[in-house]
Amino acid sequence: MNKLTFISWNVNGIRAVDKKEALKWIDEHEIDFLGLQEIKAEADQIPETIFDREFKFQSINSSSKKGQSGVALYTDIKGNPDSCDHVDILSEGRINEYHFGDIAFFNVYFPNGQSSDERLVYKMEFYDRFLEHINDLRKQGKSIVVCGDVNTAHREIDLARPKANEGTSGFLPMERAWMDKLISHGYIDTFRHIHGDMPERYSWWSYRAGARGRNVGWRIDYFFVSDDLKDRILEAEIMDEIMGSDHCPVKLVLSV
């Protein structure tokens, strides 16, 4: 069976993880799509030595605010990269969009709403505009794959301390309701599809108080696919053994 393997990772600074040589594991894996978020760098600032292997295509979308946000996509799969400026509100470097075959693939660093009410409004607006965009592509006959740091834990099972965070952006009712809406529009949370209500599986841990060692975390990094791809989902994993960032990578394998 032929497979496509996707990896998504919020690296929290691509130059920082490179100094730790924390990307070298990628050379040892068969990866068809690698989506990195929060790279905090422009294309010419990314070291050429982050991997030993070379990908045939790469797309870097940097923020207009230096040292913030930014996403990077690497692949060997031939496709048609498309601009997504109409979705990338405020040019914050949050989206890579790549079309191959009948699939539109998105690597996204969704906004964090914790710093202010204005940023929470922006986050919710970004959510809605993004959903509208992928729904429009579905109407055109595209299948959808979305990966990235969504910056929201969907259900109580998706964070270690739900009660303590009910008033925190990242677990607010309005944010969780948008996740419900995404799923109601026919998008599948691939990890839950494969693993059901498996508890205590997280993808982000605060650097404070040894949270990762105690597994006091949040599952905020996801792969979603449109429901027409449901029968092609083979694997969906959280790679919490990979160190180097406050997030760990997540993985999706589809049959082709």
| Predicted TM-score (pTM) above 0.75 | yes
pLDDT of residue 100: 95
Write the pLDDT tens digit of every residue in 2-25.
Answer: 999 999 999 999 999 999 999 999
Catalytic option among 18, 88, 149, 221: 149
pLDDT of residue 86: 47
Domain range 3-255, its CATH number among 3.60.10.10, 1.10.10.60, 3.40.50.720, 3.30.379.10: 3.60.10.10
Largest CA distance in the chain: 48
What's the chain's average pLDDT?
94
pLDDT of residue 87: 55
pLDDT of residue 219: 98
- Is 32 annotated in the active site? no
pLDDT of residue 89: 56
pLDDT of residue 63: 87
Q: Which residues contact 124 (CB under 8 A, 6 or more apart)?
A: 113, 174, 175, 178
Q: Is the dihedral of CA 194, 253, 33, 87 positive or negative?
A: negative
Write the pLDDT tens digit of every residue in 78-90.
Answer: 998 765 544 555 5
Domains in the chain: boundaries: 3-255
Q: Residues of the chain whose pLDDT is less than 50? A: 85-86
pLDDT of residue 23: 94
